[in-house]
Chain A
Amino acid sequence: MSATSELRGLRGRGATAKKENKAAFWFLLPWFLGLLAVTLGPMAASLALSFTDYNLLQNAEFTGLDNFTRMWGDQRLHSSLGVTFTYVFVSVPLQLAMALGLALLLDRGLRGLALYRSAFYLPSLLGASVAIAILWRTVFGTDGLFNQGLGLIGIEGRGWISEPETALGTLITLNVWTFGSPMVIFLAGLRQIPRMYYEAANVDGASKWRQFRSVTLPLLTPIIFFNLVLQIIHAFQSFTQAYIVSGGTGGPADSTLFYTLYLYQRGFGNFDMGYASAMAWLLLLIIGAFTAVNFWASKYWVFYND
């Protein structure tokens, strides 16, 4: 199997390919306009504010690198980084594995697939609904379903959400539970694999596993790559679920204090938007680094058709 370079597509089909600047400009025009009119200004403003003391209600005061030096000594920032990294490294692989596994199961060849797909996707629809908070307490509270289930097999439960050791675990579970989005993207990706490859494989009498290894997986790598990049970005920015389940505190005892939750607390809770902006740009650096590594590594395993 010849893994084509990820960079080939973005770099161009050889130096001789003639530029299509004019066409590209028209296709990208909406995006350029959006960049200039909507995106770039606020981004630049937040970068500028990261060098200031800005409390939202009064004028920003330039303070140089103060915000950035303050981060070194900020214990809560460090612990929130720890929480976030744990979350990213545990929940992203779990969620993707779950999503891919079910997408394969639900792709074709079974009765009632549409129903199954909808059923597995339903939890993801809840999104940021206020119902999530009470839902999760009902499942993982002291009197919750999970403990009742454990009771049936003779294990004594605990307050999963309310104890610092396990609270993050319940949020990871919540994230894995809502694996519907990557699953749908995988399903769409599976649909895009030309049938004739499987037909050819069938003619050759290849086993299901062999077909998966030699056809499905390689042709799905662009989508796996996409899901990986995006889920990592999302996981680093994860906010809503922790915010809703912990009532915005990141508790108990900061055990679910995600980085963006802390950033939000600083910015809006403490009127410390300058510092929050600095935190945001640190996060951008972290996510950017992860994404860059991801893109670099992709040339060794992602396969494109172009």
Chain B
Amino acid sequence: MTDTLAQTTDTAAPGTSGPRLRSRPRGGNRPVRSILKHALLILCALVMLYPVLWMIVSSLRPEDVIFRDPSLILRDLEAGNYAEGWNAFANPFSHFLINSGIVVLGAIIGNLIACSMAAYAFARLEFSGKRLWFAIMLLTIMLPIHVIIVPQYVLFSQFGWVNTFLPLIVPKFLATDAFFVFLMVQFIRGIPIELDEAARIDGAGHPRIYFQVILPLMVPALATTAIFTFIWTWNDFFSQLIYLTDPDLYTVPLALRAFVDAQAGTNWGAALAMSVLSLLPIFLAFLFGQKFLLRGIATTGGK
């Protein structure tokens, strides 16, 4: 399969894009440029990361030092913040991590299935009112959640879904995250249509083209969707606040906020420690997820 695809791409590509290129001698001082690049990147990375590093260091500091020391030097280690934060509530913090994990997993699966299906239709199929439907889809992400949440709460409470994870997961299976549909539409439209047509000549119907041609070629878009769904759901506060009322169902963002009390004082040491801890899963997800960003047509067509 891959072979035919690659060949099709080869023959099809020059005609569609037709980049006409002039010759020019290549630059010769590669090592110097590479070192410069690294130096620049490291410098930028430090600037970018300083605040994050500060947060990590501060999570190891005693409470009364946190707000007075913007440096990264750790003078007195206070690892107790982590134990304190972990056990701050009736449930250990792992409980909230697991809850968040369940919501995130459901949301990712839902988004991957439902959004890619909708995107296939918008990118590859001809149907009545396509542009209108597409516009409607975009419109649904233009209203701020704050005016939607009350009627939506009414709706879900009629379903008896309040205080369950369902309001946070089921909509994802119904492709309500139009953002990702649009993202996938853009990616699918970057896949040469000739690949579909070759498959169609082989007798493939739409389900097969979707599964065997488009999905394998849009792994980067799927990976992007999965990573973003992970991060946004993991960090989403407002809808989780509204729909999850039982502390046993609390997710990480709710638990983190529960540390904060502007009047009676916040245990910032513990709050920061748990913030750092809750960053870990998404950081790991990205670290491992990014290798899937590198797949797709670039690797399949590059032989």
Contact = CB atoms under 8 A, between A and B. Distances in A.
Direct A–B contact in the complex, CB atoms closer than 8 angstroms: yes
Interface of A: 1-2, 9-13, 17-21, 23-25, 27-31, 33-35, 37-39, 41-43, 45-46, 49, 56, 102, 105-106, 110-112, 114, 116-131, 134-136, 138-139, 143-145, 148, 177, 181, 184-185, 187-189, 191-197, 200-201, 204-208, 210-211, 214-215, 218-219, 222-223, 225-226, 229-230, 233, 237, 239-240, 247, 260, 263-264, 267-268, 273, 276-277, 279-281, 283-284, 287-288, 291, 303-306
Contact of A214 (B20, B151, B259): B20
Contacts of A49: 147, 151
B203 interface: no
Given A46-B148, A184-B290, 16 more contacts: A1-B17, A10-B131, A30-B113, A105-B37, A118-B283, A118-B286, A122-B52, A145-B51, A191-B293, A200-B21, A218-B17, A260-B146, A267-B146, A281-B143, A305-B16, A305-B192
Contact of A284 (B17, B142, B170, B175): B142
Contacts of A123: 48-49, 51-52
A288 B175 CA distance: 20
B173 interface: yes
Contacts of B260: 130
A192 B125 contact: no
B277 to A, nearest CB: 11
Contacts of B257: 130
Interface stretch (B7-15, B73-81, B84-92, B97-105): B7-15
A125 B193 contact: no
Contacts of B9: 194, 196
Interface of B: 9-10, 13-14, 16-27, 34, 37-38, 41, 44-45, 48-52, 54-55, 66-67, 70, 113-114, 117-118, 120-128, 130-131, 133-134, 136-144, 146-152, 154-155, 170-171, 173-176, 179, 181-183, 186-187, 189-193, 205-206, 210, 220-221, 223-224, 227-228, 231-232, 234-237, 253, 256-257, 259-260, 262, 268, 271-272, 275, 278-279, 282-283, 286-287, 290-291, 293-298, 301-302
Contacts of A119: 45, 48-49
A27 B118 contact: yes
Nearest to B224: A188
A191 B10 CA distance: 17
B190 A10 contact: no
Give me the 6 closest cross-chain CB pairs, A-B, nearest first.
A34-B174, A127-B235, A195-B302, A205-B23, A24-B127, A188-B220
Nearest to B155: A41
19 contacts: A11-B130, A19-B126, A21-B128, A39-B171, A45-B151, A46-B151, A110-B38, A119-B49, A120-B45, A139-B51, A184-B293, A188-B220, A191-B295, A211-B21, A223-B186, A239-B146, A264-B144, A306-B123, A306-B191
A233 B256 contact: no
A223 B235 contact: no
Nearest to B137: A31
B21 A214 contact: yes
Contacts of B48: 119-120, 122-123, 177
Contacts of A267: 146-147
